[in-house]
Amino acid sequence: MTDSASRRTFIAATGMAAAHVWVPGTARGYSAAEMRAMEETIGVSKWELDTPALCVDLDALESNITTMQARLAAKGLGARPHAKTHKSADIARKQLAAGALGICTSKVSEAEALLAAGIDRICMTTTNPSPSKIRRAMALRAKSAHFIQAVDEEKNARDLSDAAKAAGLTADVVIDVAVGTRSGIPAGAGAIALAELVSRLPNLRLRGMLSYDGGAQHLTGFATRRTTALANLEANVRVYETLKAKGLSTEIFSGGGTGTYNIQHEVPGFTDVQVGSYLFMDMQYLAIGNAAGGPVYDDFARSLTVLATVLNNRFPGRLTTDAGAKALTLNVPRAGVVGEPGMDYNAGSDEFGVITFSEARKAYAIGDKLELVAPHCDPVVNLYDQIYGIRKDRVEVVWPVTARGKSQ
């Protein structure tokens, strides 16, 4: 099978090929500022938006939140969704309202932005190694009794305890126990010693452990994903059991994501899953396959799209759009073009997307709009000031991306 034939087959299986594409003859073109400022923008067709525009289908988003919450609860697990994906206080509020135990953040600046916007019960899954970040984390803890942060080395634990003492508080921490080699303390005697130290330090309170397996989330095929994820966590489970036997806190045993949400309940002691991408879905996740053996991961609905405009149609079999790397970040896997399975979308150039095709549903004019599915949702959201919440193709709400650019 050729590459373009297999892409067409895959896109057709995602349901993207069958999507309805309506392209207005003339589009008014509201700027982002106008969209936020003007009351009348609420209710306009999404096709009227100036582009590139980040849109989320609210029916799909809400159904993903409800579905995830219900499926985890049915297996006795909680949801602690990761805000690294959406960076939005409004979406975090929906997740908490649906029953999430709390919200995760990667960076202290994300936590600051979300707490300032009213999101409480934040667990920072990355460590804070520098004195200034430790001070900022303590300032967050001073504002929120529910703020928890990760620690993965003894020096950092001592520094956190000293800073907590200086701030006049007791800080809540979880030890980050590695799965793979990205982050965290290796699962073994060192991790147990760290938990013991945290429990002894006067100004820290141990709340449990994190174990996120980034390597397993995107493995293709449910059986492979399950076998690998469970094997990867065996040593972490031994750490969990030792902490428990020693009477140390195991109140939290958290990790996992969209790819392993339906596997984590098989891990003894696991309490909650840090799901992120399930809200939106993207080309990376769509390709991992479902538990029934199908090629498309369809447990959650595809809700996030980037709208783009055709800038050039003068060359046969090619279109140029206004959505390149600065609108989509990654070029591999390729962005999907909704309704056009025969199109290959190259976002390799900064400002421009280049589409090549041998067949298309219609002849595209300059100014026509196309709807794209992002290669990977998290970094794309970080490029936009706002997300347009769309229902039945009309703008219902405009959400600021609260923690946009908060990468420190």
Ligand X SMILES: Cc1ncc(COP(=O)(O)O)c(C=O)c1O
Q: Is 102 in the site for ligand X (CB under 6 A)?
A: no
Closest of 104, 109, 113 to residue 85, by C-alpha:
104
Among 211, 274, 309, 329, binds ligand X (CB under 6 A): 274
Q: Which of residues 135-154 bind ligand X (CB under 6 A)?
A: none
Q: Is 105 in the site for ligand X (CB under 6 A)?
A: no
- Binding residues for ligand X, rule CB under 6 A, total 15
> In terms of CB distance, is 150 or 164 closer to ligand X?
150
Please state, in angstroms and rounded to a whole number, the distance separating the CA atoms of residues 160 and 143.
16
- Mark the segment that binds ligand X (CB under 6 A) among 27-35, 58-66, 70-78, 253-261: 253-261
Among 47, 147, 212, 300, binds ligand X (CB under 6 A): 212
DSSP, res 185: B
Nearest distance from residue 71's CB to ligand X, in Å? 13
Among 156, 217, 305, 320, binds ligand X (CB under 6 A): 217
> In terms of CB distance, is 216 or 328 closer to ligand X?
216
Nearest distance from residue 329's CB to ligand X, in Å? 14
Please state, in angstroms and rounded to a whole number, the distance separating the CA atoms of residues 211 and 188.
13
Q: Where are the beta strands (DSSP E) in 242-333?
A: 252-255, 272-273, 304-312, 318-321
> In terms of CB distance, is 276 or 342 closer to ligand X?
276
Q: Which of residues 277-306 bind ligand X (CB under 6 A)?
A: 277-278
Q: Where are the alpha helices (DSSP H) in 167-323?
A: 189-200, 222-232, 234-245, 283-286
Cβ 331 vs Cβ 355: under 8 Å: no
Using alpha carbons, list the distances in angstroms from residue 384 to 11, 88, 273, 408.
26, 11, 27, 17
> In terms of CB distance, is 171 or 229 closer to ligand X?
229
- Mark the segment that binds ligand X (CB under 6 A) among 7-15, 272-280, 303-311, 364-372: 272-280
> In terms of CB distance, is 67 or 346 closer to ligand X?
67
> In terms of CB distance, is 240 or 280 closer to ligand X?
280
Please state, in angstroms and rounded to a whole number, the distance separating the CA atoms of residues 273 and 253.
9
Q: How big is the chain by its Cα radius of gyration, in Å?
A: 23
Q: Is 258 in the site for ligand X (CB under 6 A)?
A: yes
Nearest distance from residue 103's CB to ligand X, in Å? 11
Among 259, 339, 342, 389, binds ligand X (CB under 6 A): 259
- Mark the segment that binds ligand X (CB under 6 A) among 35-43, 107-115, 268-276, 329-337: 268-276
Among 78, 188, 190, 214, binds ligand X (CB under 6 A): 214
Among 105, 125, 161, 309, binds ligand X (CB under 6 A): 125
Q: Mask 53-92, x = binds ligand X (CB under 6 A)?
A: -----------------------------x-xx-------
Cβ 16 vs Cβ 341: under 8 Å: yes
HSE on the CB side for 201, CA within 13 Å?
A: 28
Nearest distance from residue 19's CB to ligand X, in Å? 23
> In terms of CB distance, is 259 or 341 closer to ligand X?
259
Among 52, 276, 341, 353, binds ligand X (CB under 6 A): 276
Burial annotation 22-35 (CB, 10 A radius, 16+ → b, else e): ebeeebeebebeeb
Q: Which two tokens stand for residue 113?
A: 């932005």
**Would you call 238 exposed, middle or buried from its count of C-beta atoms within 10 A (0-12, 13-18, 19+)?**
middle
Q: What is the 3-state secondary structure (H, E, C) of 32-68?
A: HHHHHHCHHHCCCEHHHECCCEEEEEHHHHHHHHHHH
Strand order in the sheet with 103-105: 78-79, 272-273, 252-255, 204-210, 171-176, 148-151, 122-127, 103-105
Nearest distance from residue 212's CB to ligand X, in Å? 4
Q: Which two tokens stand for residue 348?
A: 């390799």
Q: Which two tokens stand for residue 232?
A: 């990867």
Nearest distance from residue 273's CB to ligand X, in Å? 8
Among 275, 319, 355, 383, binds ligand X (CB under 6 A): 275
Which residues of this chain interact with ligand X, rule CB under 6 A?
82, 84-85, 125, 212, 214, 217, 257-259, 274-278
